[in-house]
Amino acid sequence: MSVETQKETLGFQTEVKQLLHLMIHSLYSNKEIFLRELISNASDAADKLRFEALARPELLEGGAELRIRLSFDKDAKTVTLEDNGIGMSREDVIAHLGTIAKSGTADFMKNLTGDQKKDSHLIGQFGVGFYSAFIVADKVDVYSRRAGTPASEGVHWSSKGEGDFEVATIDKAERGTRIVLHLKSGEEEFADGWRLRNIVKKYSDHIALPIELPKEQHGEEADKPAEAEWETVNRASALWTRPRTEVKDEEYQEFYKHVGHDFENPLAWSHNKVEGKLEYTSLLYVPGRAPFDLYHREAPKGLKLYVQRVFIMDQADEFLPLYLRFIKGVVDSNDLSLNVSREILQKDPVIDSMKTALTKRVLDMLEKLAKNEPEKYVGFWKSFGQVLKEGPAEDFANKEKIASLLRFASTHDESGEQSVSLADYLSRVKDSQDKIYYLTGETFAQIKNSPHLEVFRKKGIEVLLLTDRIDEWLMSYLTDFDGKQFVDVARGDLDLGKLDSDEDKKAQEEVAKAKEGLVERLKGALGEEVAEVRVSHRLTDSPAILAIGEQDLGLQMRQILEASGQKVPDAKPIFEFNPQHPLIEKLDAEADEDRFGELSHILFDQAALAAGNSLKDPAAYVRRLNKLLVELSA
């Protein structure tokens, strides 16, 4: 190696130090994955060179045959992996090998639990595979030069995986990256051709460029790697181009780990080749767990795009709608040009056709998962359900299909699990029921005992209980399903339709007429605090309740708007009372108008608390309640 210049020692980012500790101490049960991660990175470097060389062929420097070479030295206890891909500049090396340059780093650190098994799951979600080298090595040297830069601008990065790393400028004749792992004591098993071949076949057979090892020697030379002769040990063809019947489940799973930068198997996948007016191949995966940046809508997302098996870009997000941003995979088109850019993708009508078809394919895959493997779908829903709920607003054409994939808690199940599908709900409705009833609130514990549910419990009618922040917004777009309208049981004047008999309706009218005087007295007492006062048909046990106006915002939407700094329109609630309740009967009999007013406000504030609202004047409520308690105890 040539003389090193501009040598400096730099400290790792704090997060990297913790990550290195995690790598070294958590993954001892599956050490061989270090090679999968390094090969995966080398493959990406080759893909990037191919893409950049479309516009700048000189980057290939006369060597268009891209490959990865893997060698070992038993005596020196080293394993070396070398690629002739895009390579790295000095700035690249410092940025990529000294920091975790990915959104959600703070979330990553926050989620470290100290439980080695649990923490090891986090690694793959942050695309930090290079550091897995330290699972087996106590020192790592990286020699790299970016394609298109002079030989004198090579860089040497070196670290023992502790607090810092060294970077120096060197001469490097070949473009690309060479990584030398100095194996720890006890890890000599990896300096072995047979072991390395097996790992490559197991984890990296799908990599679409040759992975070469020294040709095996026999006799006295068996322990020494051959320098001159190399042989390809992987299949070296793009997995998605092979017929489905020839690809094993294990191969699909390993390929997912490569494209998804994940350590876990996917929940499901769909491999499809389209021929005819459009020609493209897609391989789509549903991950097993959500990444930390799932709810950052601007975070990187999308599929790997290839055109005629040439890599074009990572995170091509034009092929799927935003509510399916968790899907990973590859799309390889024959109908796009090799010099396609993001700007061209956004205007190309071919993309719209592909997006429509790929969206349908993902929804079909989820439908199949829900039907055939409901336990797996429960896991999917916990990870991605809230994102899928963005679908009805974003994708009107598939609204019914998305709605069938949604899951809710309901009064049918006391556990509060979001496990009820709309099909489940409809299978249990009464013959005379022509609506789907729901109630939104902050928590299941809060709304499962809501007074709004009393009449439904009495009549044995199931109500969906919606507690995600997005739910009220969702229901403004999801107005009906399978011909039945959704009805918010806390909104407007509740009409149970055919579920109320003619006798029920007649009795309600008579009670309302009989209590007109009380309605007027309550309006006078509550004044500007309410939009309306009326007799309630919802209550069986509670004295009073607050309903929301038909066109007014509910609590969830008000909180979302307030949190985003938007002005929330003022809306007054509707005060409904239960004429059969003893408290209301006593209130009706109260002759002292001042005391009537005090008691009316206590009932109003209690109804507000039951609805999950905060009181405008808690001190006044406490004062009135204390006064009442003193009177009762006198």
For residue 213, give the DSSP letter: E
For residue 408, give the DSSP letter: B
Dump pLDDT digits (tens) for 256-288.
Answer: 988 887 888 999 999 999 988 889 999 999 999
Dump pLDDT digits (tens) for 591-613.
Answer: 888 888 888 888 988 888 887 77
Any residues with CB less than 8 A from the CB of 33 and at least 6 apart, and which? 27, 132, 135, 203, 263
203: tokens are 């984890």
Could you count the other beta carbons within 10 Å of the beta carbon of residue 447?
23
Cα separation of 75 and 66, whole Å? 29
Of 625, 610, 607, 622, the C-alpha closest to 526 is: 607
Q: Dihedral through CA 261, CA 262, CA 266, CA 272, nearest 10?
A: 10
pLDDT band at 103 (very low <50, low <70, confident <90, very high): very low
pLDDT at res. 404: 96
Q: What is the average per-residue pLDDT within 233-248?
A: 90
H, E, C per residue of 480-530: EECCEEEEECCECCCCCHHHCCHHHHHHHHHHHHHCHHHHHHHHHHHHHHC
- In the block, tokens 């294990």 appear at 250
Higher pLDDT residue, 499 or 365?
A: 365
The DSSP element (H or E) to which 247 belongs, if any, is none
Per-residue pLDDT for 557 more than 70?
no
Burial class (CB in 10 A: 0-12, 13-18, 19+), 23: buried
Per-residue pLDDT for 115 more than 70?
no
Any residues with CB less than 8 A from the CB of 115 and at least 6 apart, and which? none
pLDDT band at 374 (very low <50, low <70, confident <90, very high): very high
Q: Mean pLDDT in the chain?
A: 85
Q: What is the average per-residue pLDDT within 571-578?
A: 85
Dump pLDDT digits (tens) for 36-80.
Answer: 889 988 998 998 898 889 889 999 988 889 999 999 999 999 999
61: tokens are 């420097």
Phi, psi for 484 (deg, rounded to 5):
-110, 135
The most confident of the ranges 179-183, 258-262, 518-522, 596-600 is 179-183
pLDDT at res. 60: 92
Cα separation of 123 and 108, whole Å? 9
pLDDT at res. 354: 93
Burial class (CB in 10 A: 0-12, 13-18, 19+), 569: exposed
* Chain centroid, CA 223 distance in Å: 48
Per-residue pLDDT for 634 more than 70?
no
pLDDT at res. 558: 66
Least confident of 171-185, 391-405, 423-437, 501-515: 501-515
pLDDT at res. 120: 47
Per-residue pLDDT for 554 more than 70?
no
The DSSP element (H or E) to which 472 belongs, if any, is helix 471-475
Q: What is the average per-residue pLDDT within 379-388?
A: 94
The most confident of the ranges 245-254, 525-534, 553-562 is 245-254
Tell me the C-alpha to C-alpha distance, in Å, between residue 308 and each of 175, 211, 333: 25, 21, 6
pLDDT at res. 23: 65
Dump pLDDT digits (tens) for 450-491.
Answer: 888 888 888 888 999 999 888 888 998 999 999 999 998 888
Sign of CA pseudo-dihedral 9, 15, 16, 22: positive
The answer to whether 403 and 392 have CB atoms below 8 angstroms apart is yes
Characterise 17 by phi-psi region: left (phi > 0), alpha (psi -120 to 50), beta (else).
alpha
175: tokens are 């473009």
pLDDT at res. 361: 96
pLDDT at res. 432: 81
pLDDT at res. 102: 46
The answer to whether 161 and 138 have CB atoms below 8 angstroms apart is yes
pLDDT at res. 110: 57
Tell me the C-alpha to C-alpha distance, in Å, between residue 537 and each of 437, 453, 610: 15, 11, 17
Of 323, 411, 407, 339, the C-alpha closest to 370 is: 407
Burial class (CB in 10 A: 0-12, 13-18, 19+), 592: exposed
Cα separation of 336 and 303, whole Å? 15
Per-residue pLDDT for 249 more than 50?
yes
pLDDT band at 117 (very low <50, low <70, confident <90, very high): very low
Tell me the β-bridge partners of 226. none
Per-residue pLDDT for 132 more than 70?
yes
* Chain centroid, CA 307 distance in Å: 27
Cα separation of 51 and 62, whole Å? 16
Cα separation of 137 and 183, whole Å? 4
pLDDT at res. 105: 44
Least confident of 75-89, 192-206, 602-616: 602-616
Could you count the other beta carbons within 10 Å of the beta carbon of residue 313?
19
pLDDT at res. 268: 95
Of 246, 233, 234, the C-alpha closest to 206 is: 234
Cα separation of 123 and 629, whole Å? 59
Sign of CA pseudo-dihedral 471, 476, 480, 481: negative
The answer to whether 422 and 406 have CB atoms below 8 angstroms apart is yes
Per-residue pLDDT for 223 more than 70?
no
Higher pLDDT residue, 225 or 129?
A: 129
Record the pTM.
Answer: 0.74
Delineate the domains of the chain, giving CATH numbers in brackets: 5-236 (3.30.565.10), 241-374 (3.30.230.80), 407-634 (3.40.50.11260)
Name the pairing type of β-strands 328-333 and 303-307: parallel
Per-residue pLDDT for 307 more than 50?
yes
Dump pLDDT digits (tens) for 328-361.
Answer: 999 999 888 777 777 777 778 888 999 999 999 9
Rounded to the nearest 5 degrees, what angle is found at the Cα of 20, between the Cα atoms of 256 and 265? Answer: 20
Tell me the C-alpha to C-alpha distance, in Å, between residue 453 and each of 445, 457, 458: 13, 6, 9
